[in-house]
Amino acid sequence: MAGSARLRLADFARCLARAYGLRLRRRRFLWRSFRSRHGLTAISDRCRLIGADDILCFMTVRNEGVRLPHFLDHHRKLGVDHFLIVDNASLDGSAAYLADQPDVSLWQTGRSYKAARFGLDWITWLHFRHGHGHWCLTLDADELLIYPYWETRPLPALTGWLEEQGHDSFGTMMLDLYPQGPLSQAQIVPGDNPLSVLTWFDPGNYAVRVQDRMKNLWIQGGPRARLFFAADPRRAPTLNKVPLVRWNRRYAYVNSTHALLPPRLNRVYATTGGERTSGLLLHTKFLPEVVQKSAEEKARKQHFANSALYDSYYDTVMADPVLHCPRSERMTGWRRLEALGLMSRGGWV
Amino acid sequence: MSVGFVMLCHTALDRAAQVARHWAERDCPVVIHVDRRVAAKDCAKLTADLSDLANVRFSGRHACEWGTWGIVAASQEAATVMLRDFPDVRHVYLASGSCLPLRPVEELRAYLDGRPKTDFIESVTTEDVGWTIGGLDFERFTLRFPFSWRKQRWWFDTYVKLQRMVRYRRKIPAELVPHLGSQWWCLTRRTLSAILEHPDRAAIDRYFQKVWIPDESYFQTLVRQVSGSVESRSLTLSKFDFQGKPHIFYDDHLQLLRRSDCFVARKIWPDAAKLYAAFLSDDAIRQAAAEPNPGKIDRLFAKAVERRIKGRPGLYMQSRFPNENHENGRTAGHYSVFCGFADVFENFEIWLSKASGTRVHGHLFAPDRVHFAGGDTIYNGAMSDSAAIRDHNPKSFLTNLIWNTRGERQCFQFGPTDTQQLDWFMAMDSNAQISVISGAWAVPLFRANQNFGDIRREVARLQKVEQEFLNILRSPFSKARVRIWSLADFVENPMEPLQTIIDEIGPRQGRRLTEAPRMADLTGFGQFLQNLRNQGMQPVLMGDFPVGNDPAAKSTRRGRPYLVK
């Protein structure tokens, strides 16, 4: 009995130490992002237009001219009121395009993406400065958010539902989309809907576990795990994301939007058997340009902590592979995705 | 004679104004109560918006926090105004600012005209309600609740616990029998005035001020005293989620709401422009007036609650990751695990597939790769046959496989040569049917062309692994349907166990096995085991094989091996 009491005490002490460690870590992130504000130059700051209940979208871009028009269009239709974007030295005119948009505030920086925690320092600063009290959507330019009923219920309906349920964060999974043939065949012009050529996905090969430290999920799978990381699946890309959060200036993302601090925000899943409401980020990475971009990214070494380990991944993508397989499924609508268990309406009717 | 509406408003006042105007213009008096916490500016705007309507009144404002007396006080005061100012009103309908009429006012009027003395109010005794949240049903009436449940939860809970501890009980006023029900009612002038002019009203009000959620019990209780004809249901369609919070209706519910034939629905999302436009217009041409029929909506919402609380069994995803033993089914469906059968019988997988009509895989957990049925390299759900991916998260591998093949039973081979990480998971899964011929893995070794020393070592290793597996299967925590035979027992009489297993899998109920799988030749197996013993190794899992008395697979050489009549 005494032994078990001592054990419990030790557990408690460990929990406390861990919680405090995470607190320090969060504050370190906030401090870093505060410092990083010097690197950002405002190109067009329209933040005074932001209203009290507006939904904001944050993003870092680099040469995303092909995707941006549709990205903005999609999320405007969902009900995003203002976009806050950091341009990391694009060369394809993305910056000029964004600066012209009436609902975009644009900052520019030429600093290292990797040194800024893969852009998170910049974004965390913008969160801190403009996101407090708002529902904030943090995305990459190749991600399109969808959720149950997204075609008929805009984001304010979703955030209202989440608030009513007492939830401050919304969980999603990235769903890699790909064309039927080699990647280079899915040609589109800027402004086209990437979903018109990227029409296939892997319906059921996602491995899920919980990471003990921050209680965040760790989901891996999809075509990249299946084809590029079959020998070393531990390195396969993480697919879970928490992109929609009712922000407080004390929050900070840890690792892309896969996890954030404080840890309670990572609890986007039900643990007693039920389902909470969740969505998907349709990942439009595999447009033809990924083939050339991979060569560039391989040389820049800006995307992974240990970039050399991913050289073979880049090599495979540069070889213009076919991701489609006989068991791939064609994209139809959210109801099908929901029936497959890739997202859930939870109790939302 | 007419129906008048009492509206309790606190948000989306522009929508409330729209609905109030709709009713007032169709000759239904409206009395509006605006929550005292609403800003004066907003309230003034609402008043101005409706100032052109002669039959709209505003009543004195109370703070209406959820679960408190304020809502009852507001209803009382507004109802008093209604009865006083509009003597023509026969039925008073209590609605909220987020209500929306689903059927034309004339239909409601006609419906009420047909039932001039009926009070529509859900009113049931506490023993009969299943929907109270927080475990407080009868205690609502016998404890005191001075603290806000929303804002002072800790104090609320602690004070309840304290009162329970000291066995405090309030006295319920003698003549009252507590009833509960939806707060949205439609009462006749006679009943309502009897409640409002009750001789003991002061005492009753004082009592209800400290009852929890009095808006769900005040009128519901009193109506039982004064009304002669209570129809215990609400005319307002209103659904609640598992936390007792009202569901919200959106544009995509249009058809559902139309078909419900209810008179009024709440809550409507303020931005549901399509709903407001559709239901507040006059051009709705409808079929003959029907009884309200919310059955379809009820089913839909009941399903949603179940989805929220129980989820889909066997699904693990970004918003469902149950803790161990809270899964409500570890896997999505039944599956069968066969250990040793493929070693004892030749071409067992083909035979099983034919006999049972199911999908039969090889060793899914083999160390080299995943042996999917038919040698597929990629399987349902785009699952890879890579052993590394499988071993990175074997639980997800198995649950995904079963999830992806819902409705089609999966069978697979398993044995001590496979990776053993899922032993506990499968043993504790009630969907698993695990059949083991213990020691059968020795048959391939017996026929292998290897050094006897290596074989001896391998037998020792596999025996240890399988012993461990069997211990898990036999543990008291095991929930799987487990059957274990020793190799010796099994070859004595193989058809009966096979028949039992196939019957249990059973898509073709009642069919008898006519064709037996061909058994491997075990001549000399007893001697093989004796040789192992002679080398100092003790094979125990195979059962008793006497030297020289080989089973010689006699039982399967018969034409029609085993028939049970």
pLDDT digits (tens, 9 = 90+) for B229-250: 899 888 998 888 777 788 899 9
Average pLDDT over residues B385-391: 95
For B132, B172, B462, the CA distances from B152, given in Å and listed in that order, are: 20, 25, 61
Chain B hits for A203, CB-CB cut-off 8 Å, are 381-382, 404
- Range A215-236 average pLDDT: 93
Return d(Cα B520, Cα B550) in angstroms, integer.
Answer: 12
Q: How many CB atoms lie within 10 A of CB A42?
A: 11
Considering the segment(s) B335-557 as one domain, its CATH architecture is 3-Layer(aba) Sandwich (3.40)
Minimal CA–CA distance to B193: which of B223, B152, B230, B167?
Answer: B223
Cα B99 to Cα A128, B19, B22, B249, B300: the distances in Å are 38, 8, 12, 10, 20
CA distance to B64, B160, B278, per residue, from B17 (Å): 19, 40, 16
How do B264-266 and B236-238 pair as beta strands? parallel
Looking at the complex, does the CB of residue A159 fall below 8 Å from at least one CB of chain B? no
Q: What is the pLDDT of residues A57-98, one digit of tens each?
A: 999 999 999 999 999 999 999 999 999 999 999 999 999 999
What's the CA gap between B256 and B278, in Å, rounded? 13
Which stretches does DSSP call E strand in B87-232?
A: 89-96, 100-101, 119-120, 124-125, 179-180, 186-188, 230-231
Q: Does ipTM surpass 0.90 in this model?
A: yes
- B194-210 pLDDT, tens digit per residue, is 999 998 899 999 999 88
Which band of pLDDT confidence, cut at 50, 70 and 90, is reported for residue B381? very high
Tens digit of each residue's pLDDT (9 = 90 or more) over B299-350: 888 898 899 999 999 999 999 999 988 888 899 999 999 999 999 999 999 9
pLDDT higher than threshold 80 for residue A163: yes
In chain B, the residue whose alpha carbon lies closest to the alpha carbon of A258 is B318
Domain with CATH 3.90.550 in chain B: 2-116+235-309
**CB of A138 closer than 8 Å to CB of A33:** no
Helices and strands of chain B, counted as H and E runs? 23, 21
Residue A11 has pLDDT above 70, yes or no: yes
Fold of B2-116+235-309: Spore Coat Polysaccharide Biosynthesis Protein SpsA; Chain A (3.90.550)
Does residue B89 contact residue B29 with C-beta atoms inside 8 Å? yes
pLDDT of A337 over the 60 cut: yes
Peptide bond into B267 cis (omega under 30): yes
Give contacts of A233 with chain B, Cβ < 8 Å: 386, 388-389, 392-393
Length of chain B: 565
Can you tell me the mean pLDDT for B481-501?
90
Calculate Rg over the CA atoms of chain B. 36
Give residue B484's pLDDT. Answer: 94
Nearest chain A alpha carbon to B368: A231
- For chains A and B, CB pairs below 8 A equal 182
Distance CA B533, CA B546 (A): 12
Percent of chain B clearing pLDDT 70 (strictly above): 93
Which tops the pLDDT comparison, B310 or B515? B310
Partners of residue B387 in chain A, C-beta under 8 Å: none
Tell me the per-residue pLDDT of B422-464, one tens digit each, with 9 for 90 and over.
Answer: 999 999 999 999 999 999 999 999 988 888 889 999 999 999 9
User: Quick check: B7 pLDDT over 80?
Assistant: yes
Whole-angstrom distance, CA of residue B183 vs CA of residue B72 = 9
Residues 231-250 on B with a CB inside 8 Å of A are 239, 241-243, 245, 247-248, 250
pLDDT tens for residues A106-161?
999 999 988 899 999 999 999 999 999 999 999 999 999 999 999 999 999 999 99
What is the percent of chain B where pLDDT is above 90?
58
- DSSP states along A85-143: EEEES-SSSHHHHHHT-TTEEEEEE-S-TTTTTTTHHHHHHHIIIIITTSEEEE--TTE
**More reliable by pLDDT, B242 or B413:** B413
Give which of A53, A152, A201, A205 to mutate to test B binding, by max B Cβ within 10 Å: A205
Least confident among A5-19, B322-336, B357-371? A5-19
DSSP letter at B475 equals S
pLDDT value for B40: 92
Confidence (pLDDT) at B562: 46
In 3D space, the residue among B113, B97, B115 whose CA is nearest the CA of residue B50 turns out to be B97
Best B308, B318, B398 member to test A by mutation, with max A CBs in 10 Å, is: B318
**Confidence label for B144 from pLDDT (cuts 50, 70 and 90):** confident
Alpha helices in chain A (DSSP H): 2-36, 68-78, 94-99, 120-126, 155-165, 222-228, 289-300, 311-318, 334-339
Chain B residues close to A244, C-beta within 8 Å: none
First to last CA, chain B: 78
Rounded mean pLDDT, A30-42? 92
Q: What's the average model confidence in pLDDT over B63-87?
A: 91
**A154 interaction partners in chain B (CB closer than 8 Å):** 271
Overall average pLDDT of the B371-393 stretch: 94
CA atoms within 13 A on the CB side of A215: 18
Å from A217 to nearest chain B CA? Answer: 7
pLDDT category of residue A253 using cuts at 50, 70 and 90:
very high
Computed on alpha carbons and rounded to an integer, the radius of gyration of chain A in Å comes to: 20
Do B194 and B226 form a contact (C-beta atoms < 8 A)? Answer: yes
Q: What is the pLDDT of residues B15-60, one digit of tens each?
A: 999 999 999 999 999 999 999 999 999 999 999 999 999 999 999 8
**Alpha-carbon separation of residue B536 from A32, B84, B269, B464, B551 (angstroms):** 67, 104, 79, 15, 24
At B554, the pLDDT band (50, 70, 90 cuts) reads: very low
A226/chain B closest Cα distance in angstroms: 6
CA A71 to chain centre: 14
